[in-house]
Amino acid sequence: MNNKKFYCLDMFPYPSGSGLHVGHVEGYTASDIFSRYKRMKGFNVIHPMGWDSFGLPAENYAIKTGVHPSKTVDTAINNFTSQMKKLGLEYDWEREVKTSSSEYYRWTQWLFLLLYKNGLAYKKKAKVNWCEKCSTVLANEQAETGFCERCGDQVVQKDLEQWFFKISDFIEDQEFEGKKIKGLLSGLDDIDWPQTTKIAQKNWIGKSVGAEVIFAISDDKDNYNLNVFTTRPDTLYGCTYMAINPEHEIVEKFKNSIKNLSEVSKYIEESKKKTDMEKIIDAKDKTGVELEGISAINPLNNKRIKIFVADYVLSGYGSGAIMAVPAHDERDYAFAKKYNLEIIEVISGGDISKEAYTGDGTLINSEIVNGLSVEEAKKKIIKYLEDKKIGQASVNYRLRDWLISRQRYWGAPIPIIYCDKCGELPVPEKDLPVLLPEDVDFLPTGESPLKYSKSFHEVNCPLCGKKARRENDTMDTFVCSSWYYFRYLDPKNEQIFAEKDKISQFMPVDLYIGGADHSVMHLLYARFIAKVLQRYDYTDINEPFKKLRHQGMILAEDGSKMSKSKGSVVNPNDVVSEYGADALRLYEMFMGPLEEVKPWNTKNILGVKRFLEKTEILSEKVVEDDSKKDSQDVILEINKTIKKVGEDIEELKFNTAISQLMIMLNLLGKKEKISFNTWKKFLLVLAPFAPFTSENLWLKLNEKKSIFEVSWPEYDSSLLAEEKVSLAVQFNGKTRGLIDVEPNTEESVIISMLKDDEKFKKYLSGAYKKVIYVKNRIINFIV
């Protein structure tokens, strides 16, 4: 059995009617090259493909055309598959999965039940992001800009009963039944991901360390304690007002005491029209209304402070209330200036008459911590709060639980039954899958179309047997894509989502190539589900993706984002028809570093097309005579090529690997004959990049096996150890000769060699101002 395993994963594409465009091809080609190379290196490679086929695009198309989403999806999948095969993308098609098939979403529903039975899936009334055009709820991540990520319409806020997954339980490390499970934060330290993506996830989780302070709220009749989270307990003496979210419960509790209730109510109603993101964007122009008639008491100095309702305070942060310290917070400073509120300096070092001071310093005007540093003051005040039982050390997170309800048809039904007698019940596992009904109208109404299906609700209570109803909502498509990497390993299994031994053999995924656009959605959710399955002993895997790399976006020729409506999308079928699949593959990889954004230019494909044509022509120079000996420069270069191309593939530096292949081919083009042995090695290293050309020329050599059944060639390291590079020696930019040196020789060593060389020492007899040294290429003296 081959113990060398490699699991390579692509983006999980949504099959749309428009098919692939050249922007998609880059990532798929990169993973294909890597997988082919690993197979040739003797690895047991899994490189599957599947379809994220639930979701709004197919349903919106169904609403527009009357074509059932399942037909739209199947047509699109056939189109995508055809395109992929034309491009020579080699997938394990026997592992293919489709999230909209009942065989797949049966296990998505099983996953829901696993979370539900363990208290990790729950339903509650909550303020949600609502898209009127799509008539559905959006997760925070899908409305991050204040607009729907699907249709672009403005998002509004609504109060609805919704289902959530308790992702917040997995932020920090935990121990469960003797098993240590790393959380979403610390797990990032164990994986090889782009730093920008790790930072994006950390910021989205938003861990804040500080204190929870108890403020007494009073109207001279009743007292009410409000816990307020702050990261700056050291500045508590500088707190001169409190701000609460417009929907905070104390407005209702003290409504009979608030003298300007009408003004406050009007402000609250206006605020409801804004999403959290809009409130953040509008925070520069801060607005608020004082709650006249009630006040808060600063627990350290017992001073009464005003309370404002202000929409820059988000309901999801802490308790939905903040202690405002204008002297040392830019946001609070602007608000205090606008409403003429007191500003008390408690940290020395700035000029608060001009702006808030947010730097470090010594505490002043702070009775019990005067003279202390910020960090010392934080510790002492927290201890004081805890001793007096008016606060405690605390941690707050920005991450909210994952809202998974959708009021749409085309998704996995939530496996819950409602009985008038027995209440809310999970569907028994033996009754899965809960199938999507056919008797529905796709037209969105703000409620799930499933509500109006008679066949769907023909169900009896699993406990008492009486007539019951199913849950109307379907699951967010991100639930389906949160676990598909497990299903690829065991796609036909009808007993479990994947056998544990198969998971142990191939997981975690060795390389995942995908776009950066799902950094805080799919990638975060997939990590969460992996940790859930580890907790309940279905896997031993904590992090699903060991190494992640993002391909850069390919832009239209004018540098703008490719757009179907603007006619700037390039169809790979057209490119393949004119230039061939191998030319497209090579061009996509040769455009520049994989992770960079690059503009498309069809004319530039001619360069790689000529390279392939030259390869065909040079095949005529190949001689089978074993007595034919290669010249020393060819022997050296083919060994160098094998080494460099292999190393560049491992590092995903495909553009420089292709550059080396071109150098090798140019050298062979200068020779009268090419040995059989050298040509075979060249074709083998070219094969992952240009499979059609390589296989065709390989078979012309009368080889019995496919080129991809042959091992990657070995290089002679002893030859490369003796290799030297020719360095151009320049004076004031003018080349005066070459010097042969060991690769990566240090600048000081080269200068010493030149001073001893009769050819160059005369130029170095005087002083020189500057040396420009590019390793292995040039050394330029400015004299």
Quote the percentage of the chain above a pLDDT of 70. 96
pLDDT above 60 (res 157): yes
Instruction: State the average pLDDT over residues 513-542.
Output: 94
Dist CA 495 CA 599 (whole Å): 48
CA atoms within 13 A on the CB side of 677: 13
Burial 370-395 (b: 16+ CB within 10 A, else e): eebebeebbebbbebbeeeebbeebe
pLDDT of residue 444: 66
Peptide bond into 508 cis (omega under 30): yes
pLDDT above 70 (res 38): yes
pLDDT band at 626; cut points 50, 70, 90:
low
Say which residues have a Cβ less than 8 Å from residue 210's Cβ, sequence separation at least 6.
Answer: 229, 230, 231, 232, 233, 378, 393, 394, 395, 396
When mean pLDDT is compared across 191-205, 389-403, 563-577, the lowest value belongs to 563-577
DSSP string, 363-385: B-S-TTTTT-BHHHHHHHHHHHH
DSSP code of residue 712: P
pLDDT of residue 278: 59
| Cα 153 to Cα 76, 135, 403, 566, distances in angstroms | 25, 11, 20, 19
Say which residues have a Cβ less than 8 Å from residue 728's Cβ, sequence separation at least 6.
Answer: 735, 738, 777, 778, 779
pLDDT above 70 (res 745): yes
Dist CA 617 CA 500 (whole Å): 52
| pTM to 2 decimal places | 0.86
**pLDDT tens string 42-61:** 999 999 999 999 987 888 88
Burial 491-508 (b: 16+ CB within 10 A, else e): beeeeebbeeeebeebbb
**Run of H or E including 402:** strand 402-403
User: Angle CA(630)–CA(635)–CA(636) in degrees, nearest 5?
Assistant: 150
Pick 222 or 436 by higher pLDDT: 436
pLDDT band at 12; cut points 50, 70, 90:
confident
Burial 93-116 (b: 16+ CB within 10 A, else e): eebebbbbeeebbbbbbbbbbbbb
DSSP string, 579-602: H-HHHHHHHHHHSS-TTS-EE--G
Dist CA 763 CA 731 (whole Å): 8
**Run of H or E including 658:** helix 654-669
Strands lying side by side in the sheet with 725-731: 734-741, 725-731, 778-782, 770-774
**pLDDT tens string 66-76:** 889 999 999 99
pLDDT band at 759; cut points 50, 70, 90:
confident
pLDDT band at 275; cut points 50, 70, 90:
low
**Greatest mean pLDDT range, 16-30, 612-626, 674-688:** 674-688
**pLDDT tens string 456-466:** 999 999 999 99
pLDDT above 60 (res 692): yes
pLDDT band at 258; cut points 50, 70, 90:
very high
Of 677, 671, 667, the closest CA to residue 625 belongs to: 677
Residue 549: both structure tokens together: 């790399």
Classified as helix, coil or strand, 280 is helix
SS3 assignment for 408-419:
CCCCCECCEEEE
Classified as helix, coil or strand, 149 is coil
Cα dihedral 677/679/682/686 (nearest 10): -130
Dist CA 97 CA 99 (whole Å): 7
pLDDT band at 280; cut points 50, 70, 90:
low
pLDDT above 90 (res 582): yes
pLDDT of residue 220: 65
**pLDDT tens string 508-526:** 999 999 988 888 899 999 9
pLDDT of residue 1: 44
**Run of H or E including 265:** helix 261-271
- The answer to whether residues 668 and 682 touch, using CB atoms and an 8 Å cutoff, is yes
pLDDT above 60 (res 758): yes
pLDDT of residue 318: 73
Instruction: State the average pLDDT over residues 586-613.
Output: 94
When mean pLDDT is compared across 358-362, 416-420, 627-631, 648-652, the lowest value belongs to 627-631
Mean confidence (pLDDT) of the chain: 91
pLDDT above 50 (res 404): yes
Per 3-state DSSP, the chain is made up of helix, strand and coil in percentages (nearest 5) of 40, 20, 40
**pLDDT tens string 412-448:** 999 999 999 999 999 999 999 999 998 888 776 777 8
Of 424, 438, 538, the closest CA to residue 471 belongs to: 424
| Residue 709, phi then psi, degrees to nearest 5 | -100, 5
| Cα 471 to Cα 118, 163, 414, 599, distances in angstroms | 19, 10, 6, 47
When mean pLDDT is compared across 403-407, 411-415, 525-529, 645-649, the lowest value belongs to 403-407
Instruction: State the average pLDDT over residues 218-238.
Output: 88
